[in-house]
Amino acid sequence: RFSKPFLLLSLAVSARGLSIPAQWAADGGAPRLNISRKGVVTAGCSHAGDFAHQFHITYSSMVSGACVFAGQPYRCATTRFPGDQLVAKTHETSVPNCDGCPENETLIYDHCKNHPQWVDVGKLPDFPRRACGQNPIKYTECIDDVKHLFDDRVYLFRGTHDRCYLNGAVANVQALYGQMLTSPADQMKFVNNLPFPHTLPTNSTPFFNHSEPAWFDGPGECLRWVYPDIKYAGTYKEENVYAFNQSLYMDDPGVGVNEKGFIYIPDMCKPGKAAAEGCKMLMLTNGCHDFGGGDDKDFSRYGEANGIVILKACVGGYVDKDRFPQAHEVQRGLLDVYGQLDTNYVFQSAPHMKFVGKVLRAVTGW
């Protein structure tokens, strides 16, 4: 028998022409698929780029790479550096938690994006290396051992006309990864010389102050870097998009998790069809209520031709404002990359990190 949330979800899915595969559980949860153990990467732009980068490091035992289109460094939003200017902490501040600030003071909002010169890049790896204990990791639901990052691949992008992440902001992400990868020159690519505004560019995206397409394939550039064995894009198939019931992975209904997420399953990756080594999987976590807009189809075309499942866990749901009065960005449908829901927002135990981790485990079975 279907639960009421699943019936509502099924009606919404049917209205879009999507189908619920018969082999899925009656509760409408995400499907279990055969995914390669070294085949999972994350991608995103802006707040979703922040999250893609942070989820990669936090779950590095399960995630093997990241594509960050405009992102700030790991846990940077709540870390005080010697050059930081402080402001009074009020009910209106978007940085309710600060590591190293005096009582009743906090950081300027977006200090890592607007003032990248204040960031001490040498300090950035300290937290993921030490916060959970060392040799061995002492705490559960914390941060995976950074040894899992050693052989990962990373693609970074910032348009030269990006006014949200100023020059130097994404370079600081590069500097962080540069201290954590075995051979940064071989494992990391940073595109920062193209005149795009703040965007994840696709072939139809124009350069800043232009109207004609620039024909820069951001999704393809990302995927060809993190998966060196892939080549061309295929055909997007609407019938391969499925919605799933995210309430099954929601520990707290008041932290902005949406009721449904989406997954694109290429023909070659459907249950019983994947090769023995498994398919790859790209995680596009974002604020979302649907699938197919933005860059979804562009990534999915590559997925169809190259055996890459596209997993889109979604935030943008109900936020309990009484418990989280300063979660202004989460209330706008964004991911918590500012510590607005939890002081330790990069830990696996944090609301959004835990939710997405549970979806990842549901699909992979790891």
Q: What is the structure's pLDDT at 4? A: 35
* 264 vs 343: CA distance, rounded Å: 33
Q: What is the structure's pLDDT at 5? A: 40
59-73 per-residue burial string, b: 16 or more CB within 10 A, e: under 16 = bbebbbbbbbbbbbb
Please provide the size of the chain in residues: 366
29: closest CA among 65, 3, 54? 3
pLDDT tens for the chain, 366 residues: list them: 233 343 334 434 433 444 445 445 567 999 999 999 999 999 999 999 999 999 999 999 999 999 999 999 999 999 999 999 999 999 889 999 999 999 999 999 999 999 999 999 999 999 999 999 877 888 889 999 999 999 999 999 999 999 999 999 999 999 999 999 999 999 999 999 999 999 999 999 999 999 999 999 999 999 999 999 998 999 999 999 999 999 999 999 999 999 999 999 999 999 888 777 899 999 999 999 999 888 999 999 999 999 999 999 999 999 999 999 999 999 999 999 999 999 999 999 999 999 999 999 999 999
Strand partners, 308: 280
* 263 vs 317: CA distance, rounded Å: 18
* 330 vs 41: CA distance, rounded Å: 24
* 18 vs 323: CA distance, rounded Å: 36
Q: What is the structure's pLDDT at 320? A: 98
* 177 vs 88: CA distance, rounded Å: 32
Please give the structure tokens belonging to residue 56.
Answer: 């990669």
The radius of gyration of the chain from alpha carbons, rounded to an integer in Å, stands at 20
Q: Which residue is associated with the tokens 């990791």? A: 137
Please give the structure tokens belonging to residue 351.
Answer: 């609301």
